[in-house]
Structure 1
Amino acid sequence: MKKTQFERDAVEFASRAVQFDRAGETSPAAFYYREAAQALQAALLAGSQVAGLTEKANEYLNRAEELLKQSSSSSTHQLVRPAAQQLQLDRAKFLFLQALDEDEACNSEDALELYTQAVELCLQARNSTEDRALQEKLTNVATSGLERAEALKCKIHGTPSAKSPALPKSPSSKPCPQHRAAANLGSVDENSHARAASSASGDRSSEKKLFISGSEGYSKEEIRVLRITSVINGREYVPFLATDRNDRFAFILPFNDPDGKLLLSPKQRDSFSHWVRPEDLSSDPKVIELVDCFSIRQTVVSDCSFVASLAVSALYEKRFSKKIITSIIYPQNRQGQPVYNPCGKYTVKLNINGVPRKVVIDDTLPIGKHSELLCSYSNNKNEFWVSLLEKAYMKVMGGYDFPGSNSNIDLHALTGWIPERVSIRPNDEDFNKDALFKKLLERHQRGDVLVTLATGELDEAEAERSGLVPTHAYAMLDVKEVLGRRLFLLKNPWSHLRWKGKYSERDTVSWTPDLAEALHYNPRNASMFDNGVFWIDYDSLLHFFDVAYLNWNPGLFKYTYCMHESWNAVVGPTRDVYNIGENPQYTLELGKPGCAVWILLTRHITDRDDFANNKEYIALLVYKTQGKKVYLPFDPPPHIDGARINSPHYLCKLVVPPAGDTRYTLVLSQYEKSNTIHYTLRAYATCPFQLARIGNPYKYVREEKRGAWTAETAGGCGNHPQTYGNNPVYQVCLQSPDDNNQVLVTLKGPKQYQLGFDVVAVTLDDPSSQYAFSRKSSGMYKSGFTVLELERVPAGIYNIVPSTFLPFQEGPFFLSVSSTCPFKFSRLR
């Protein structure tokens, strides 16, 4: 980086530091003073000739140290007591702006109600204050509202517009103006009303820019699934629609969530004093003042993965100027920026159980006995987006007593980005550390992926020695390969407690001047202010961290499609180690080879205990079977297999070469299925594709549930001609006018036996049929279960001979015959 860039950075950091300093925000001010000093020192190392840089850097460092001494506790918040009339004025202005929204949308009756409420609130506040300046402001808002309300009354009732009546005078007021002017609202921005709805966000596209590769409407079954899984922890969270952007947010009285206050965690209850609103903590509250990953701080709520997710999302917004996290908070102005609501109601759009869902909260926050917020917050004490997003997510999860999560789940809920879990196993021969580093380096720099990392179990001594927290999530802010070194910049969500090993701020050996200059890092300055941010080398990361959570930008793909369905617990065997024919299966047909398709399986979770103790192990398998149903898990072997994991998300990545197949079969799998599950299957692709459930074409089924190989009938396979003829024989008579019939035969028996069967043609209705055959076999004998699916079977009579591989193996069996045409079924022997 050029010296002039360092100089510009120093100016920017110093400007922020002064801004926070004047506002009394000690922690961020100290941080930015040190950043400014570091940038000045980097400029000197780069050869800057600007006079006085060393003195100015020392000045900033001294001021930073002074500020930190002044602040006894960075988590303490000075309570503000705004006048009741001022709060009423703020709510009246917001009511007026919401009325303008409805007015412009031609919703006259709703607009009239809001104008009327704004006027009533202003009059009430005006009559209870002696502050003449405040009275004038209240009168201006009321006058504008009254004038428009009268005009709407005439419009609604079809009467001529009359001159608006004058407002009654308060004892100390002057005659109020009789004209309507938005400027009379004072500092309120005319454009700060919610954006007009353009399209519903509850469709099959997870990303506005992606094309939906299939029908856009939902089936009745999908609507049923989404309705069932809208109820989470006893509360309903309906899919978020475009009209929800223009929901009503303005009220005369402060909004209180009808669902009640969130349950507090034990640590919160120990310190809890009361609930406060942003207006109690700041004289100028905002939803967002400055989106910055360094300002986010976790407190006593055990949601490190969620706070780490906020940090990497905020960094992405800042680096790439794309709103992926702040865009989910409502109300918003016309620029799509969340705005502070003095009435206290907010809506947050979270991706939960397959679709974006609407989460309504009020703005009450828990505060402790020493005026410390008992939730995550921003060090920029006028902004509250961190606390509001956390509250919305905690509400869905059942309260602040968070059962724990991981950043794959949290980031997907916040952003909709595609989750991928990468286990860090340096001693595993399948783990390619060089490939992982290259992928993280290249894709993170391009903004394709958000990354967090989680430590594994550490004993107390190892945790103390390393400075790392056991089983804790860290946000990855940067990754670099510099001067032959592979380094990661991580952030502890606690905003304190850092790595103590190699390349930490304590390491005076590894930090050479060249390396410090290349990374714009000054270990000495960093050691003065612990904000939880640190550099760590790749080898140390591989030793101490267990998992990398990657969330990929859906915009990497052009096409998407999803399906919402259920898998009933009574359908199919408990374990699918022998038979997967009753598992949900899908045909994936690509428009062309030479493309990438990622398929995300998401299990819907509706109960806190299920989330905390997830016992459902799921996976998604891919077979090269031309989109046809698969019955045996390893015949043919899966093209893509994977371990069953107890996570709500399972990602399968299919990369098709230019000369590859274009039709595949997708199979859901569970380990020891015991409960009905609801799920979403969503595919992302670089080419057009079709995704469809493989149905059951067989309308006619007959079963033999009491079959058995006895001492007389256990004849074994055809390799034993002396006894083979003793096996049971069943006869099937296909009753069809054509030859295009399908038949499915399945045989189940003791798992300790190898099973098989033959299908032998006896007589055909049309012996000259081109599809005629004399004998078909189920193939290699298999343990406990085997199957044969026949296509284009001519009408006629066939015998089925089930057998074990060896003779004299006695035991029960279950024979099932299914067909697309009517048939007769009987036992001959």
Structure 2
Amino acid sequence: MDRATTSPAEADALLTAAAKAELAHDYDNAFAQYIKAASSHLTLSRLSSGEGSERHKAAAARAVERAEKIKAAKGSTIAPVLRDPFAPEEQDRILRAGSVVNRLRLPPTSGRMVESDGATRDRQPELSPEQLAAGVEWRQPDESWVDPTSLEGEEIAQRIADCSLHASVVVALAYSRRFNTDASIPRLRARDGGYDLDVYLNGCHRRISIDLRLPYDRDGKLMCMASKSTANLWPALLEKAYLKLFGGYDFPGSNSGVDLHALLGWIPEHKRLKSTHCRPERLWHRYANAFHDGHAVITLGTDDRPTSWRGVQLLPAHSYAVIDASLADDDDRTMTILDFKAAEDVSSQMSELSLNNKQPTRHLRMPFEDIMHTFDSIFVSHNPCRFSHHICFHGAWRGRHLSEAERDESSHQVFYVNVDGLPISANDTDSDERVHILLTRHISKTRLSSQYISLKVDEEDALPEPIAMKRSDRTRVKGTFTDNPYVLRRYKHTSGSGMLLSVTASYDGQELDVGYTIDVFSVAPVRWDTAQRTLPFQTTVSGALTAKSAGGNHNLPTYMYNPQYKLTVSRPRFGEKVRVAMIATSGRALPVNVVIAWGKGERVVDLSRTTALATSGAYSYSYARTSAALAPGMYTVIVSAFETTHIGAFSLKIESDAHTALDAIPPEGVGMFQKVVRGEWTSENQAPRYMLTLSEPMRVMIRLQMQGYSPSTSVRFALAGPQHFTFASELTDSPAGASMPRTLLREGRYLLAPRTGVELAAAAISTT
């Protein structure tokens, strides 16, 4: 945390101030001060012992008693006390709420340590079906030699299906030998009758205790992770402690990012190699440099389908340790992979295929290009020591004390981070690596499924400038949800200037009081911006993107069909402009975007021809936010999803510091009969004509669009009718096409002539 715990003197001062406010009949202030005093004294009671702890408990009880009496006397007239999420006692509350994992009590190890009882300490991890079938029994080994520094990864045998932990241990030991450090070795500490494993879990360091008994099969062999050639018990004890934490030897599987974050506190990054967003050249340079500079360790993962490389069978859903890599600038871009689950015949094949015959038989040296096509994922764990600055925050989604509507709103929480400017001399540092922001979901049950998280990071502008939207601009999708317990975002930082980042942590699931931690690592000084940013006036409307109203992103000709709203901004009491924030929320499968446009409260058909005053940027799943400073007047707000096939309900919330109104804009042609005519230009018919017959006077709107939109093709049309009536639309390359506004026409016959601005051999058209 970036704030110190309240001191005893400060807690006493809060209690005194509360009593003075009560005597002065300032009951709102007294109630708030009593609540703060109770919280502070309660926190101090946990961090103290003996008489000090009892004194703080008594003070907390007195404060609660007075607060309850004020509440009973004044009832609903007492102003509610807003929790300060950054307060030390609130941060401590979140960490202690995360102390029970798989029915084990694991309090934070900082401050006064609360020991678990002996029954919990001596409880053995659940055995796997394979171990039970082998008649495994718990026995204390005859020898107790525990020394990780004497081990190499290749010496460790894996006898149960915890391949991610095995790969994590291998790369950690390899890093230790390569850089002559114990910083990458998990901390397994001896104590009377057993060992303690220090882990970083649910936002802080915790401790899991085990005794000396280990699982042996009928033949007297260890049936767990163990050294093949020595009696070194370090791998077996480490595995026992870790799997006790994660539910037992029937380990459902994890990934090395989760494992090394828990064992070392390193920063996990997961990249799907077959994603369309992967850039092999950039990935290779970043990961190879990080590997050789000692900034990271790497593992690879296959998907659940059988796969092979040059005749070598790779196991499905399996983790592989990367133990070496060529230099980033070498022509030979390879990584050396250790396959510690290979059968003997597969090992011999690896030996034959290896580019270096002197390597052990279980080394597989693979070009990075082949890795991109063979493996599903790469897991990179970054050493946090490379960053000189670190802050963290602990929070919770969907609190039990909230109403159902408030719980849904609490599923998206926004925080702000100030990042100081870097000296110009820092230009030699990769700007992609300067700020890492990690969101970690706290775990209570490791086998609990259907929990998803997302992290969105954007740079905030003090006063947004109007944006000239161009076609193909800002049509990316980011902020996808994952069932991984962590999400990492890296942000570029330009030397010489500071920045303000907004960090949005989102959760999708039905559990209550789901804790999380946000860690910010930076090479420049960072701090939380705790200024109050919720604006006083708030309005929420509900809407839906349906088969008719889902128009997709602004590059599509159907964009104009998206839900649009007239935003009316009143004159502020002070100043010339009103601060406005627009927030759109939806289901986790819906990538949404919100735009505030200079549309004068009317429907916008082509965003590229309208000034966008603010946009939420790239489409993001479930949550989109934008803000602007607006002069009094009328504007158009557009909510859209990335594709026309993305449909679902959404909620649109506006916050402002003056009165505003939000009204739905009717769809184009609402209340009118609609007729669609489809045609085409061909070499035989380059000037098609259509006859429009009106039996009586009526208002008519016409829109001409290319069915297969091409930005290089312009369209227009002309309409001629009775009493010399003529109308000619402008020539336009807009995806919305050419149009005639609602016009009163007399009865009679009208000739409609579509035109293009280029010669076409064939093109389809649609006229409404």
Q: 1:740 to 1:406 in 2, by over 3 A?
A: same
- Contact 2:440 2:516 survives alignment (8 Å): yes
Q: 1:637 to 1:498 in 2, by over 3 A?
A: farther
Aligned partners of 1:349, 1:359: CA distance in 2, in Å? 7
Q: 1:808 to 1:493 in 2, by over 3 A?
A: same
Q: 1:758 to 1:308 in 2, by over 3 A?
A: same
Which of 187, 209, 230 aligns to 1:328? It is: 187
- Contact 2:189 2:196 survives alignment (8 Å): yes
Tell me the TM-score normalised to structure 2 length: 0.57
Which of 568, 586, 605 aligns to 2:415? It is: 586
Q: How does 1:392-471 map to 2 (within 5 A)?
A: 392-425=241-274, 430-459=277-306, 465-471=311-317
Q: 1:623 to 1:805 in 2, by over 3 A?
A: farther
Which of 481, 491, 505 aligns to 1:644? It is: 481
Aligned partners of 2:188, 2:272: CA distance in 1, in Å? 33
2:235 corresponds to: 386
User: Does 2:541 correspond to 1:541?
Assistant: no
Q: 1:285 to 1:775 in 2, by over 3 A?
A: closer
1:121 corresponds to: none
3-state SS in 1 of match to 2:124: coil
- Contact 1:628 1:665 survives alignment (8 Å): no
Aligned partners of 2:521, 2:394: CA distance in 1, in Å? 15
Which of 130, 139, 145 aligns to 1:285? It is: 145
Deviation, 1:734, is 10
Residue deviations 1:712-753 (CA, integer Å, cap 9, x gap): xxxxxxxxxxxxxxxx9999999989999877799999x99x
Aligned partners of 2:455, 2:669: CA distance in 1, in Å? 38
Which of 93, 106, 111 aligns to 1:224? It is: 93
1:262 corresponds to: 125
Unaligned 5+ runs, structure 1: 1-106, 108-214, 250-254, 332-340, 707-727, 760-770, 811-829
Aligned partners of 2:125, 2:630: CA distance in 1, in Å? 70
- Contact 1:289 1:383 survives alignment (8 Å): no
2:633 corresponds to: 775
Q: Which has the higher helix share?
A: 1
- Contact 1:344 1:363 survives alignment (8 Å): yes
- Contact 2:566 2:634 survives alignment (8 Å): no
Unaligned 5+ runs, structure 2: 1-48, 50-83, 544-564, 602-628, 642-649, 673-768
Q: 1:492 to 1:745 in 2, by over 3 A?
A: closer
Residue deviations 1:284-333 (CA, integer Å, cap 9, x gap): 63344613222222112x211001101111111122122134451113xx
Which of 474, 481, 488 aligns to 2:320? It is: 474
Aligned partners of 2:395, 2:630: CA distance in 1, in Å? 39
Which of 430, 440, 448 aligns to 1:602? It is: 440
Range 566-575 or range 391-400, more displaced: 566-575
Aligned partners of 2:165, 2:136: CA distance in 1, in Å? 25
Residue deviations 1:416-445 (CA, integer Å, cap 9, x gap): 1111112222xx654332333333332212
Which of 204, 207, 215 aligns to 1:366? It is: 215
Q: 1:689 to 1:627 in 2, by over 3 A?
A: farther
3-state SS in 2 of match to 1:307: helix
Q: 1:241 to 1:345 in 2, by over 3 A?
A: farther
Aligned partners of 2:364, 2:138: CA distance in 1, in Å? 35
User: Does 2:339 correspond to 1:492?
Assistant: yes
Supply the AA of the counterpart residue of 2:201.
I
- Contact 2:395 2:516 survives alignment (8 Å): yes
Deviation, 1:546, is 1.4
| Identical-residue share of aligned pairs (%) | 22
Deviation, 1:390, is 0.8
Range 800-809 or range 619-628, more displaced: 800-809
Which of 193, 199, 210 aligns to 1:350? It is: 199
Which of 238, 241, 244 aligns to 2:110? It is: 241
Supply the AA of the counterpart residue of 1:564.
H
Aligned partners of 1:247, 1:325: CA distance in 2, in Å? 27
Deviation, 1:260, is 1.9
Supply the AA of the counterpart residue of 1:227.
R
- Contact 1:256 1:362 survives alignment (8 Å): no
Supply the AA of the counterpart residue of 1:592.
G
Q: How does 1:660-679 map to 2 (within 5 A)?
A: 662-670=499-507, 677-679=514-516
Aligned partners of 2:293, 2:335: CA distance in 1, in Å? 16
- Contact 1:498 1:533 survives alignment (8 Å): no
- Contact 1:453 1:547 survives alignment (8 Å): yes
3-state SS in 2 of match to 1:347: strand
Supply the AA of the counterpart residue of 1:446.
D
User: Does 2:159 correspond to 1:299?
Assistant: yes
Deviation, 1:458, is 3.9
Aligned partners of 1:786, 1:703: CA distance in 2, in Å? 6
Supply the AA of the counterpart residue of 2:435.
V
Supply the AA of the counterpart residue of 1:231.
V
Supply the AA of the counterpart residue of 1:292.
E
Aligned partners of 1:772, 1:654: CA distance in 2, in Å? 29
Which of 620, 640, 653 aligns to 2:455? It is: 620
1:682 corresponds to: 519
Residue deviations 1:445-488 (CA, integer Å, cap 9, x gap): 2211111111233438x599423222111111111269953332
Residue deviations 1:113-158 (CA, integer Å, cap 9, x gap): xxxxxxxxxxxxxxxxxxxxxxxxxxxxxxxxxxxxxxxxxxxxxx
Q: Which has the higher strand share?
A: 2
Which of 644, 666, 675 aligns to 1:804? It is: 666
Supply the AA of the counterpart residue of 1:541.
I
- Contact 1:296 1:386 survives alignment (8 Å): yes
User: Does 2:384 correspond to 1:554?
Assistant: yes
Q: 1:782 to 1:374 in 2, by over 3 A?
A: closer
3-state SS in 1 of match to 2:351: coil
Larger Rg: 1
Aligned partners of 2:653, 2:116: CA distance in 1, in Å? 59
- Contact 1:453 1:476 survives alignment (8 Å): yes
Residue deviations 1:86-118 (CA, integer Å, cap 9, x gap): xxxxxxxxxxxxxxxxxxxxx9xxxxxxxxxxx
3-state SS in 2 of match to 1:566: strand
Aligned partners of 1:609, 1:660: CA distance in 2, in Å? 45
Deviation, 1:676, is 5.0
Q: 1:476 to 1:809 in 2, by over 3 A?
A: farther
Supply the AA of the counterpart residue of 2:202.
N
Supply the AA of the counterpart residue of 1:322.
T
Supply the AA of the counterpart residue of 1:376.
M
Aligned partners of 2:506, 2:315: CA distance in 1, in Å? 35
- Contact 2:416 2:530 survives alignment (8 Å): yes
Residue deviations 1:382-432 (CA, integer Å, cap 9, x gap): 32111111111111111111111011101111111111112222xx65433
Supply the AA of the counterpart residue of 2:635.
S
Q: 1:700 to 1:322 in 2, by over 3 A?
A: same
Supply the AA of the counterpart residue of 2:303.
G
- Contact 2:411 2:507 survives alignment (8 Å): no
Deviation, 1:494, is 3.7
Aligned partners of 1:430, 1:745: CA distance in 2, in Å? 28
1:312 corresponds to: 171
Aligned partners of 2:500, 2:166: CA distance in 1, in Å? 41
Aligned length: 511
Deviation, 1:495, is 7.4
- Contact 1:568 1:675 survives alignment (8 Å): yes
